[in-house]
Structure 1
């Protein structure tokens, strides 16, 4: 029996897989844990610690550019719209999207995928270019080789500082926080962008897709040596996602979870790749068609 070390987040759609309700025929899965989940991404891209690992989309783009031997599997683990992810203090100075030009905005890392989507929205919907803003980061990128643009500044205070702390101290005018993180900062936050839900729906209607944040990668060596085991795990994960469909609502976050290279998933990756290039998250174009071809065999 093949054995795979696997790191996936704890979600309703992974629970049947992890508890054995959905089996993985011929494969023994060693389930790893990481808290916070994103801490595993750096270990994966720096030392290939797992055979299969959930990974943020922007981290994957950077790892691929750096030559890290991993392949993207067509599974969208989490995602959603991010018009509400650019936040400010409710009692702070009034702030408009145009007012962000020349301002300082906090973000955990410049290559964080939520930040990627927020910057894409700012440029596309409000005409604020990534280079118009000074981005203040509290953590290093997962891919050690990456060097951020000149308008990115690493916070030079305590490494333990939260992005929202920079808001409280007035060091930044706004902060980028994922939907799951907004409620964990110990302070009430409100969106900077006006009528964020309607603006987010307009983005979805325009693009015909939902932003993806996390997908899944596999080590190339494992894909080469044990392709049947990887395919079995993929099919089981797809079955686990299908079995929990009634636990997801029709919101963008519920809609995005899926397995298989649908046109909608490929388009989300393609848009994210375009944003990554224009923001210098990567310096070379991402060949999304090749990425799709590399993982297409799983759906045969």
Structure 2
């Protein structure tokens, strides 16, 4: 059996998985810190056999024909109403008042940005093209071409754009909010309550990271891939007590479900509206592609 090269982030469920051998599978776990630059290496060079991947990157890679298949696992997720931030002493902007303004985001195809732009359109009537999105990094998927409302900055970090006055608001991922975004405040009023209301309406929690496997590996080592999937499924179940009932805690899951289908359908619709993809996302086809794990 050829060992699987597996890149997964540092989460409670992955720590448990990496500590013990995978029954029926030979896995060589590799590390990347920070994790997200490895996403480009996966979708451009297929550097890993199995890889945690941002949801928006997966949708774009699938459209571009990158030969990877989804494993139905949500590694991290949560609500994103509080991800749209502003300076506490800066101009008081409302979400609907962002039309014609500049907003910073690490990459236009960052998954947090996907969810934030979906919220702006759905709840405030603001189209992605109504805003200039100032980015500090290129997309992970090399084939993707950004729309005209995107421009690149040489600034190092998104929060630096905001503090320098180059943008009026900034989109920050969950970890960045507590890091470079320290001291910034949500632009959306009652962000936590608004996020919970979004979940109630849609019957799902927004996913940020999923897992993919290379198609050639899935063909050549199907038993090993299934063994890894089952071990990850078991690890998620075994660490459930470490997660609370917050959206982030509820997001982590393994297995095809109505919640995952809803999440993919909404993310696919948002992505099409924002020109992150140029063709509709076929969730039914994705479900069929994951049939090899059904019953696990």
Equivalence map 1:1-300=2 (5 Å): 1-20=1-20, 23-155=21-153, 157-158=154-155, 161-185=156-180, 187-300=182-295
State the alpha-carbon separation in 2 of the partners of residues 25 and 250 from structure 1.
30
SS at match of 1:27: coil
Q: List structure 1 segments (4+ residues) > 2 angstroms apart after TM superposition.
A: none
State the alpha-carbon separation in 1 of the partners of residues 2 and 294 from structure 2.
21
Structure 2: state its 5+ residue gaps.
Answer: none
Question: Does structure 1 conserve the Cα–Cα contact (< 8 Å) formed by 2:83 and 2:171?
Answer: yes
State the alpha-carbon separation in 1 of the partners of residues 119 and 48 from structure 2.
33
State the alpha-carbon separation in 2 of the partners of residues 2 and 232 from structure 1.
13
Question: Does structure 1 conserve the Cα–Cα contact (< 8 Å) formed by 2:43 and 2:140?
Answer: yes
- CA drift of 1:299 comes to 2.2
SS at match of 2:82: coil
Judged with a 3 Å threshold, the aligned counterparts in structure 2 of structure 1 residues 60 and 139 are, in CA distance, closer, same or farther, namely same
State the alpha-carbon separation in 2 of the partners of residues 77 and 26 from structure 1.
22
- CA drift of 1:187 comes to 4.0
State the alpha-carbon separation in 1 of the partners of residues 121 and 129 from structure 2.
10
State the alpha-carbon separation in 2 of the partners of residues 186 and 206 from structure 1.
29
State the alpha-carbon separation in 1 of the partners of residues 190 and 127 from structure 2.
20
- CA drift of 1:297 comes to 2.1
Structure 1: state its 5+ residue gaps.
Answer: none
Superposed CA deviations along residues 173-197 of structure 1, whole A, max 9, x for unmatched, are 0000011111110641100001111
- CA drift of 1:16 comes to 1.0
Taking structure 1 as the reference length, the TM-score comes to 0.97
Question: Does structure 2 conserve the Cα–Cα contact (< 8 Å) formed by 1:2 and 1:26?
Answer: no
SS at match of 1:14: helix
Question: Does structure 1 conserve the Cα–Cα contact (< 8 Å) formed by 2:79 and 2:247?
Answer: yes
Superposed CA deviations along residues 222-245 of structure 1, whole A, max 9, x for unmatched, are 000110100000000000000000
Judged with a 3 Å threshold, the aligned counterparts in structure 2 of structure 1 residues 251 and 187 are, in CA distance, closer, same or farther, namely closer
State the alpha-carbon separation in 2 of the partners of residues 187 and 201 from structure 1.
23
- CA drift of 1:296 comes to 2.2
SS at match of 2:26: strand
State the alpha-carbon separation in 2 of the partners of residues 167 and 239 from structure 1.
42
What is the aligned length?
Answer: 295
